[in-house]
Amino acid sequence: MDNRTRAQEPRRCIWVDAGVIGYKLCDMDFRCEECPFDLAMRRAVPDIMPERNETGIKVHEPSADALDRYFSAFDPLQFPGDRQYLPGHVWIHQNDDASCTIGIDHVAASLVGALASIVIPHAPTFLRTNMPCCWLVHHEGTIAIPSPFESGAVWYNEELSHRPDLLVEKPYTDGWILTAFPAQSAHTLEGRRSASEQAPIVFAELQALKKEIAGQMRQRPVIGPSALDGGRPVKTAFEMIGPAAFTLIVRMFLPFPREPLSPR
């Protein structure tokens, strides 16, 4: 990138680039050393000390404060014991009439966060194992939820089309995705786990995800408990590391491959 291209890029307050505040107009022509807001921020959150330079923010001492706060929300890992859990964070509940209801667990729902919409097929429809049964539309992209079984009789939770927040806020109750009569018993599905078996597996997944996010946060500052000028603390993985978080989280929805992928 040459100097002409760099000069054309819009400049932002260093505290916006640091992720501490979401927006601020600069009335100092980016002379940070003369800025009263910069001085106030350095006094208010002394553990955040971004350097003023041409290339952006450099962090003196990376910290996991924001990351620890984020992942502490998942403790303790408690999964309802009346259903089974499958790779890809899908849960399945067998009903009295031999039908099964499926959804995603609270960990996956919390990681995804606010959804723009949920796309479900027009019923009646059919399912094949691992084909998408719905799509979660996030501001960073779309996540396909794979069906855990084959079925020729499927009923979708139409309410999700109008209230995608239900999937995040009530993943085990009102946020269910579909009910179907599977071609095979839920007890014979590959990779099924009980609630007690699911907890340590998801814990390990979260630890691995936390490590990956921490690796990408090494050049980012500590997120303080508060921010001035109308700002707010960064709270989600998307806010901590940007679009890269979407790729990391999408991996958690992928079921383990059952056979080698065919070459294209």
Domain locations in the chain? 11-72+213-242, 84-193
Please state the rounded mean pLDDT for residues 47-69.
51
Q: Give the separation between CA 263 and CA 171, rounded to whole angstroms.
A: 36
Pick from 74, 113, 81: which is nearest to 198 by CA?
A: 81
Return the pLDDT at 238.
76
pTM score: 0.68
Pick from 241, 198, 210, 166: which is nearest to 76 by CA?
A: 198
Choice between 228 and 135, residue whose per-residue pLDDT is larger: 135
CATH number of 84-193: 2.40.50.100
Q: Give the separation between CA 115 and CA 217, rounded to whole angstroms.
A: 24
DSSP label of 98? S
**Three-state secondary structure call for residue 92:** strand
Residue 123, classified by CB atoms within 10 Å of its CB into exposed (0-12), middle (13-18) or buried (19+), is exposed
Choice between 250 and 122, residue whose per-residue pLDDT is larger: 250
| Average predicted confidence (pLDDT) for the chain | 77
